[in-house]
């Protein structure tokens, strides 16, 4: 049970780390176009 | 500034007035309950922070597309529309939900662009003349903010759920439970403070305006739940609801995000034209070079070179069109083969592409009667919902039930049911060269029982050529031709194009619709046109056998012209297909009765009338309508404008015509009649989708409201159900509109082009 006192804060910290990572990804434009990149795979030229 | 939905208190990203379509409906109610007071609270101080940087509008322009900012849901748009429509200086205002643009026309004497934008700003939104690049940047910012809110809520909800889970299944030691509660509190706080901020801002605004919208109850529910849970955590007693709160926030935001994605997808259909209609400005008269493969940036005339261009964007016709010196080029088409030099005649928002885009947008923004009725229902429904929520909440003494009722019954789906379908129909038709200028046309088109066809320029190609000239007076054939050319020089009637240009000068030319032209030649009145029209001038009947066009002066008949026209290759198939579908086909021609009858017989048209003036045609259509027919009229859009306006739905042949002067519900941009059939197919399918959507939305509300009021649905389930209902409607609206016509096209006798149906 004592492990909770460590694990719960760690999980909270992890949420914030994940949030930061998503923020970075979002603002580097990764989510701006959710359709075209899927078609790029089929396009031999690119 | 973060704002919340005027109606439902949900967050409005970037600061619009409403968060979702349901809120739009609710806002309508609010507006009805006294929007005027709202003006007072907002405009009276007159504190507009800064004057808007207004782009200089060309003189005489009193119509513009405005990109609306801080708009979150259809309700915001509804409010903006109502506000502008109440402005006496605004002559027309249509707001498109899918593209979030307002089309406003105003009376320059009583309003200005600044006053209109001021009105929009006064109610908390912003507007700027539509510029695609600016719009794209804005949309990207909004999309990112939306995603970020959604992510925070989603991840928070997920994590809080994990902390809440042990408490549901297990007896936790009080210390461990307390750790879980603190962790939940820590993660729910950002969800509430950041992701839900727009709900609270909306609730505050509603409070300021002393109204209850949709934001207020949701914000209240969230705040109440959070405060009670936080107190329970701090004091170590009582229940916590962190999981419910964060889940509710996540589902509401998720539904809204998906709704936005679907809306953008629908709007994308109109995009290519809009993008090309607003290319950077060239000055008129400037000569520019066009490399092969290059998109033509402005309207103009070829000065040098021979090539062919692809005008698919404008006409839906993918076959290359040959161009050489003197030919017109349209912005948005692509130069295919050789380099060309062109002189710019129109650029920027004056181009044909821009005109098409404006009309298409206006068309998608207008609403058929069915939809207006649905929106009225939605507005009234909201009050019922608020009432039921209060009663249920008090009866069960459980505010969560009230919140569930409000969330579940948000009539979002009802407000979404139609606009997306119409925007898509407009886009799908445009891709096939059919421009829909009024969505009402879809409704009428679906019910049409009779089709009245004009002859010249409609069933025939309208490229008349002169077959024979018979001098009747003392002028020679050549002189008669010269005079005829001079008279017809200012006319846009298809007949005019048959006559060669002329060096002779006539004064005071006057166009008599459906009859001909009159002008002064050295003080004497001369006329060209139908036999009856000329006979008014010189008296008597024309000598010789009957001809199509006569030339006469006051002193007597001058010449008779026999014109020849080519029947459109698809005309026979069109008539055949229309009859197969059970529609009555009529021919109403201004030409001689025997010619009209012969043509009607050749095409299989039962009812034909010739020698009709526009007034005759008008009465003809009127008579059909009195007999209960729903009339679709196909004409050239210029000479038969009154008839087109009289008909329930009107088609105009738009190739080469000045679009601003066409008064028709549907403009066939490609030089072909096929658009009549494809628009009928699309109309049928679009109206069916709209009906399904409205039925679904109403059924959903009828079912969900009692369930929630009975306390069977919790807040998060309500949010899920509301999202699911909105999404069902949207997904249904996104179903292909052309599936049926594709099948038809391949089985009908039409020469089917490569079917690029979207």
Give the closest of B155, B183, B261 to A18, CB-based: B155
Quick check: A12 and B179 CB within 8 A?
no
- Per-residue HEC secondary structure of B94-140 comes to EEECCCCEEEEEECCCCCCHHHHHHHHHHCCCEEEECCHHHHHHHHH
Contacts of B720 by beta carbon, 8 Å cutoff, 6+ apart: B251
Q: Is pLDDT above 70 for B176?
A: yes
> What pLDDT score was predicted for residue B551?
87
Percent of chain B clearing pLDDT 90 (strictly above)? 6
Chain A residues with CB within 8 Å of chain B CB? 1, 4-5, 8-9, 11-12, 15, 18-19, 22-23, 26-27, 31-32, 34
- Listed ranges B62-71, B257-266, B545-554; the one with the highest mean pLDDT: B545-554
Mutate to test the interface with B, among A26, A27, A30, A33 (most CBs of B within 10 A): A26
Give the closest of A12, A31, A34 to B186, CB-based: A12
Q: Is pLDDT above 60 for B625?
A: yes
Spatial separation of the C-alpha atoms in residues B420 and B292, rounded to whole Å? 37
Give the closest of B147, B175, B187 to A15, CB-based: B187
Smallest Cα distance from A8 to chain B, Å: 7
Q: Is pLDDT above 50 for B614?
A: yes
Chain B residues with CB within 8 Å of chain A CB? 140, 143-144, 147-148, 151-152, 155-156, 159, 162-163, 173, 175-176, 179-180, 183, 186-187, 261
Smallest Cα distance from A25 to chain B, Å: 10
Spatial separation of the C-alpha atoms in residues B667 and B634, rounded to whole Å? 10
Secondary structure of residue B290 in the 3-state scheme:
strand
> Which of chain B's residues have a Cβ under 8 Å away from the Cβ of A18?
155
> What pLDDT score was predicted for residue B102?
81
Q: Is pLDDT above 80 for B732?
A: yes
Q: Is pLDDT above 80 for B658?
A: no
Torsion of CA B681, B684, B686, B688, to 10 degrees: -150
Instruction: Mean pLDDT check: name the lowest of A11-15, B107-111, B379-383.
Output: B379-383
Long-range contacts of B279-283 (CB under 8 A, 24+ apart): B279/B331, B279/B347, B279/B348, B279/B351, B280/B348, B281/B347, B281/B348, B282/B344, B282/B347, B282/B348, B283/B344, B283/B347
Contacts of B745 by beta carbon, 8 Å cutoff, 6+ apart: B678, B752, B755
Spatial separation of the C-alpha atoms in residues B199 and B193, rounded to whole Å? 10
> Which of chain A's residues have a Cβ under 8 Å away from the Cβ of B173?
1
Structure tokens at B646: 């009289």
Residue B456 phi, psi (nearest 5):
-65, 125
Q: B55 and B45 in contact (C-beta within 8 Å)?
A: no
Spatial separation of the C-alpha atoms in residues B665 and B662, rounded to whole Å? 9
The CA distances from residue B72 to A45, B16, B40, B97, B654, in Å, are 39, 5, 23, 10, 36
More confident residue, B103 or B441: B441
pLDDT band at B72 (very low <50, low <70, confident <90, very high): low
Quick check: B180 and A22 CB within 8 A?
no
In this structure, the number of other CB atoms found within 10 A of the CB of residue B277 comes to 25
pLDDT in tens, B455-493: 877 888 767 777 788 888 778 888 888 888 888 877 767
Nearest CA in chain A to B177: A4
Quick check: B159 and A15 CB within 8 A?
yes
Spatial separation of the C-alpha atoms in residues B443 and B738, rounded to whole Å? 17
Secondary structure of residue B524 in the 3-state scheme:
strand
As a whole number, mean pLDDT of residues B595-614 equals 85
For tokens 């088609």, what's the residue?
B651
Structure tokens at B496: 């005019």
Q: Within 13 Å and on the Cβ side, how many CA atoms surround A2?
A: 0
For tokens 């009828």, what's the residue?
B702
Mutate to test the interface with A, among B155, B156, B161, B257 (most CBs of A within 10 A): B155
Give the closest of A8, A15, A26 to B179, CB-based: A8
* Mean residue pLDDT across chain B: 76
Structure tokens at B426: 């407009």
Quick check: B143 and A5 CB within 8 A?
no
Contacts of B75 by beta carbon, 8 Å cutoff, 6+ apart: B5, B6, B7, B17, B18, B19, B20, B21, B22, B23, B24, B25, B26, B27, B28, B415
> Which of chain A's residues have a Cβ under 8 Å away from the Cβ of B183?
8-9, 11-12
> What pLDDT score was predicted for residue B743?
38
Contacts of B269 by beta carbon, 8 Å cutoff, 6+ apart: B423, B424, B426, B427, B428, B430, B431, B758
In this structure, chain B runs to a length of: 758
As a whole number, mean pLDDT of residues B156-178 equals 83
Mutate to test the interface with B, among A10, A13, A19 (most CBs of B within 10 A): A19
Q: Is pLDDT above 60 for B747?
A: no
Record the pTM.
0.63
As a whole number, mean pLDDT of residues B341-349 equals 83
User: Which residues of B are annotated as catalytic?
Assistant: 454
More confident residue, B212 or B202: B202
What does DSSP say about strands B334-335 and B307-310: parallel, antiparallel, or unpaired?
Answer: antiparallel
> Which of chain B's residues have a Cβ under 8 Å away from the Cβ of A4?
176, 179-180
Instruction: Mean pLDDT check: name the lowest of B5-14, B271-280, B357-366.
Output: B5-14
- Per-residue HEC secondary structure of B554-605 comes to CCEEEEEEEEECCECCCHHHHHHHHHHCCCEEEEECCCCHHHHHHHHHHHCC
> Which of chain B's residues have a Cβ under 8 Å away from the Cβ of A19?
151-152, 155
Mutate to test the interface with B, among A5, A8, A32 (most CBs of B within 10 A): A8
Spatial separation of the C-alpha atoms in residues B518 and B175, rounded to whole Å? 100
> What pLDDT score was predicted for residue B449?
92
As a whole number, mean pLDDT of residues B246-263 equals 77
Q: B667 and B437 in contact (C-beta within 8 Å)?
A: yes
Mutate to test the interface with B, among A4, A9, A17, A21 (most CBs of B within 10 A): A4
Instruction: Mean pLDDT check: name the lowest of B201-205, B249-253, B395-399, B738-742.
Output: B738-742
pLDDT band at B549 (very low <50, low <70, confident <90, very high): confident
Quick check: A12 and B148 CB within 8 A?
no
Quick check: B186 and A22 CB within 8 A?
no
More confident residue, B193 or B715: B193
In this structure, the number of other CB atoms found within 10 A of the CB of residue B438 comes to 22
Instruction: Mean pLDDT check: name the lowest of B219-228, B236-245, B269-278, B529-538.
Output: B269-278
> What pLDDT score was predicted for residue B357?
74
Residue B230 phi, psi (nearest 5):
-65, -40
> What pLDDT score was predicted for residue B375?
66
> Which of chain A's residues have a Cβ under 8 Å away from the Cβ of B175?
1
Quick check: A15 and B151 CB within 8 A?
no
Nearest CA in chain A to B152: A19
Q: Which helix (H) or strand (E) holds B228?
A: helix B215-235
Structure tokens at B514: 């459906």
Strand partners, B666: B436, B651
For tokens 């970020």, what's the residue?
B148
Quick check: B162 and A32 CB within 8 A?
no
Find the distance separating the first CA and the last CA of chain A, reported in whole Å: 54
Spatial separation of the C-alpha atoms in residues B719 and B404, rounded to whole Å? 8
How far from the centroid of its chain's Cα atoms is residue B507's Cα? Answer: 42
Quick check: A19 and B180 CB within 8 A?
no
Structure tokens at B726: 């909105």
> Which of chain B's residues have a Cβ under 8 Å away from the Cβ of A23?
148
Nearest CA in chain B to A18: B155
Of the candidates B661, B351, B311, which has an alpha carbon nearest to the alpha carbon of residue B492? B661
As a whole number, mean pLDDT of residues B418-445 equals 82
In this structure, the number of other CB atoms found within 10 A of the CB of residue A37 comes to 10
> What pLDDT score was predicted for residue B750?
37
> Which of chain A's residues have a Cβ under 8 Å away from the Cβ of B156?
15
Q: Is pLDDT above 90 for B94?
A: no
Strand partners, B631: B450
Give the closest of B143, B151, B156 to A22, CB-based: B151
> Which of chain A's residues have a Cβ under 8 Å away from the Cβ of B163?
8
Nearest CA in chain A to B140: A32
pLDDT band at B56 (very low <50, low <70, confident <90, very high): very low
Torsion of CA B387, B390, B394, B400, to 10 degrees: 140
């Amino acid at each position: 049970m004592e492990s909770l006192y460590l694990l719960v804060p760690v999980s909270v910290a992890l949420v914030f780390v994940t949030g930061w990572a998503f923020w970075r990804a979002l603002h580097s434009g990764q989510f701006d176009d959710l359709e075209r990149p899927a078609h790029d795979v089929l396009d031999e030229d690119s | 500034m973060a704002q919340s939905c005027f109606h439902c208190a949900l967050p409005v990203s970037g600061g619009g007035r409403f968060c979702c379509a349901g809120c739009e409906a609710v806002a309508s109610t609010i507006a009805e309950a006294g929007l005027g007071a709202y003006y007072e609270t907002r405009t009276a101080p007159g504190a507009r922070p800064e004057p808007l940087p207004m782009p200089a509008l060309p003189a005489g322009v009193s119509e513009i597309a405005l990109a609306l900012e801080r708009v979150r849901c259809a309700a915001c748009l509804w409010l903006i529309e109502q506000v502008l429509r109440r402005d006496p200086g605004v002559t027309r205002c249509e707001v498109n939900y899918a593209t979030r643009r307002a089309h406003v026309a105003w009376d320059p004497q009583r309003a200005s662009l600044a006053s209109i934008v001021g009105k929009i700003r006064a109610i908390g939104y912003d507007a700027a003349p539509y510029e695609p690049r600016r719009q794209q940047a804005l949309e990207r910012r909004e999309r990112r903010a939306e995603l970020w809110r959604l992510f925070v809520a989603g991840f928070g909800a997920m994590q809080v759920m994990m902390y809440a889970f042990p408490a549901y299944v297990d007896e936790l030691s009080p210390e461990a439970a307390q750790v879980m509660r603190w962790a939940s509190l820590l993660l729910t706080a950002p969800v509430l403070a950041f992701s839900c901020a727009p709900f609270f801002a909306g609730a505050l605004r509603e409070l300021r305006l002393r109204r209850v919208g949709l934001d207020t109850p949701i914000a209240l529910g969230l705040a109440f739940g959070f405060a009670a849970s936080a107190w329970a955590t701090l004091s170590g007693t009582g229940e916590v609801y962190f999981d419910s709160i964060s889940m509710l926030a996540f589902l509401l935001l998720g539904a809204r995000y998906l709704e936005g994605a679907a809306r953008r997808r629908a709007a994308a259909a109109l995009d290519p034209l809009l993008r090309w209609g607003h290319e950077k400005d060239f000055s008129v008269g400037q000569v520019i070079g066009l490399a092969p493969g290059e998109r033509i940036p402005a309207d103009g005339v070829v000065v040098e070179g021979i090539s062919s261009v692809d005008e698919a964007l404008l006409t839906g016709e993918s076959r290359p069109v040959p161009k050489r010196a003197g030919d017109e080029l349209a912005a948005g088409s692509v130069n295919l083969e050789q380099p060309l030099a062109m002189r710019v005649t129109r650029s920027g928002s004056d181009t044909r592409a821009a005109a098409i885009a404006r009309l298409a947008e206006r068309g998608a923004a207008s609403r058929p009667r069915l939809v207006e009725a649905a929106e009225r229902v939605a507005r009234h429904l909201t009050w019922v919902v608020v009432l039921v929520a209060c009663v249920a909440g008090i009866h069960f003494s459980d505010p969560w039930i009230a919140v569930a009722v409000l969330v579940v019954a948000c009539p979002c789906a009802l407000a979404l049911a139609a606009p997306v379908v119409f925007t898509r129909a407009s886009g799908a038709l445009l891709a096939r060269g059919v421009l829909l200028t009024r969505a009402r046309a879809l409704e009428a088109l679906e019910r049409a029982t009779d089709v009245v066809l004009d002859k010249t320029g409609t069933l025939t190609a309208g490229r008349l050529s002169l077959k024979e000239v018979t001098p009747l007076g003392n002028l020679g054939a050549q002189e008669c031709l010269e005079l005829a050319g001079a008279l017809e020089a200012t006319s846009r009637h298809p007949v005019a194009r048959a006559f060669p240009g002329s060096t002779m000068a006539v004064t005071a030319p006057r166009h008599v619709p459906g009859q001909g032209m009159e002008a002064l030649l050295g003080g004497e009145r001369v006329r060209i046109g139908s036999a009856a029209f000329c006979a008014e001038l010189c008296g008597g009947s024309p000598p010789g056998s009957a001809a199509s066009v006569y030339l006469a002066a006051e002193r007597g008949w001058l010449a008779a012209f026999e014109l020849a026209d080519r029947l459109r290759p698809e005309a026979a198939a069109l008539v055949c297909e229309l009859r197969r579908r059970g529609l009555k086909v009529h021919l109403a021609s201004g030409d001689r009765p025997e010619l009209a009858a012969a043509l009607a017989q050749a095409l299989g048209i039962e009812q034909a009338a010739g020698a009709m003036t526009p007034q005759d045609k008008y009465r003809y259509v009127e008579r059909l309508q009195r007999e209960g027919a729903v009339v679709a009229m196909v004409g050239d859009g210029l000479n038969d404008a009154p008839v087109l306006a009289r008909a329930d739905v009107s088609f105009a042949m738009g190739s080469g015509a000045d679009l601003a002067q066409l008064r028709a519900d549907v403009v066939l941009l490609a030089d072909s009649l096929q658009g009549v059939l494809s628009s009928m197919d699309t109309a049928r399918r679009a109206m069916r989708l709209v009906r399904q959507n409205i039925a679904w939305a109403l059924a959903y509300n009828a079912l969900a409201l009692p369930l929630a009021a009975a306390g069977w649905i919790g807040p998060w389930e309500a949010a899920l159900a509301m999202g699911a209902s909105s999404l069902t409607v949207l997904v249904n609206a996104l179903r292909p509109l052309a599936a049926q016509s594709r099948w038809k096209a391949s089985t009908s006798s039409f020469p089917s082009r490569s079917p690029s149906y979207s």
